[in-house]
Amino acid sequence: MEYETPRFLDCGEAALSVEFGDSVDPAINGRVLALDERLRASAPAGLRETTPTYRALFLRYEPLEISRDALKAAIEGLLRPGEQAPASRPAVRWTIPCCYDAEFAEDIGEAAGLLGRSAQSLAQLHASADYRAYMYGFAPGWCYLGGLSDALAIPRRTSPRGLTPRGATLIGGALSLIAANPMPTGWYVIGRTPERMFALDRDPPFLIAPGDAVRFEPIDPETFRMLDARALAGETVARRETLE
């Protein structure tokens, strides 16, 4: 649910959370990203960094340079009540190649079993949805996606599984996720992309921006290996298109 007016929550004396709602929702996330964009365009002195998340903008600031009240006033001046948040409509869409073959989707059989469907129908449902990149979190390049089919909502594991493969595509709760570097996780690995979600030697190191639209394109193991080699050589194998 979107709040009528945003809440300002202290996270210590040097950080503030501006919270627009209490759910994962494109309109709420749109308000977060719109404020983020405006603050980045004209940052008040003393504001150090902004971190957009699903429903709140996290602001790190130096209170010896700007008081909380002055920061709040600056933010309130940037919020236009009742407006249609422009950033809730994605400006960019990424098509991410993803291999759902069991060789690359270590947990797809387990997840399909828990959901009472075949691995093939799980892959089909996952690849046919339109996703929104809400935020990054957990580790560099771990990009959280909303838009997962309700039929694929799955409780997270009670204890984490081992390291994910690089580029793992996962599901957990009502969300999907593209992972970068290997990490332990409570989610299920249902595919893998050859794209590098995070590459230190690439400019920019991160491809997808919060707010972007994301689709998956199923690929077979042979195509995975071919694209993986090209990605390793520095090529971007995901496709980017600008939306009207």
Partner 1 sequence: MSARLLVDAAGPGVTIQDQGRFGLSRYGVTPAGPMDVGAYLAATRAASADSAIEVSLGGAAFRAEGATLCVAIAGGDFDIRLDGRILPAACLFPLAPEARLILRAGASGAWCYVAIGGTLDLAPILGSRATHGRSGLGPKPLAAGDALPLAEAAPPPLEPLALTAPWLASSDAPLRLLLGPQDDYFAPQEIEAFLNVRWRIGARSDRMAYRLEGPAIRHLRGHDIVSDGVAMGAIQIPGDGAPLALMADRQPTGGYPKIATVIGADLARLAQLRPGQDLSFCAVDWSEAVAARRDYFAAIEAGPKREPLSAEVTTESLLAENLVGGVVNAKD
Q: Quick one: which segment of 48-56, 76-84, 94-102, 107-115 binds partner 1 (CB under 8 A)? A: 48-56
| Three-class SS state of 88 | helix
49 binds partner 1 (CB under 8 A): yes
* Residue in the structure block whose two tokens are 């977060």: 32
Q: Which is nearer to partner 1, 64 or 233 (CB)?
A: 64
CA atoms within 13 A on the CB side of 31: 26
Q: How far apart, in Å, are the Cα atoms of 61 and each of 71, 99, 165, 234?
A: 9, 42, 36, 36
137 binds partner 1 (CB under 8 A): yes
Which tokens belong to 201?
């030697």
73 binds partner 1 (CB under 8 A): no
Closest distance between partner 1 and the C-beta of residue 209, in Å? 9
Closest distance between partner 1 and the C-beta of residue 237, in Å? 19
Q: How far apart, in Å, are the Cα atoms of 58 and each of 15, 32, 33, 43, 237?
A: 7, 9, 11, 14, 32
Q: How far apart, in Å, are the Cα atoms of 144 and each of 16, 38, 48, 72, 115?
A: 22, 23, 24, 28, 21
Q: Which of residues 155-214 bind partner 1 (CB under 8 A)?
A: 181, 183, 198, 200, 205-206, 210
Q: Which residues on neighbouring strands pair with residue 136, listed in sequence order?
A: 143
Closest distance between partner 1 and the C-beta of residue 190, in Å? 20
Q: Which is nearer to partner 1, 67 or 128 (CB)?
A: 67
Q: Which is nearer to partner 1, 67 or 118 (CB)?
A: 67
Which residues of this chain interact with partner 1, rule CB under 8 A? Answer: 9-15, 17, 19, 22-24, 48-56, 58, 60, 63-64, 67-68, 135-144, 181, 183, 198, 200, 205-206, 210
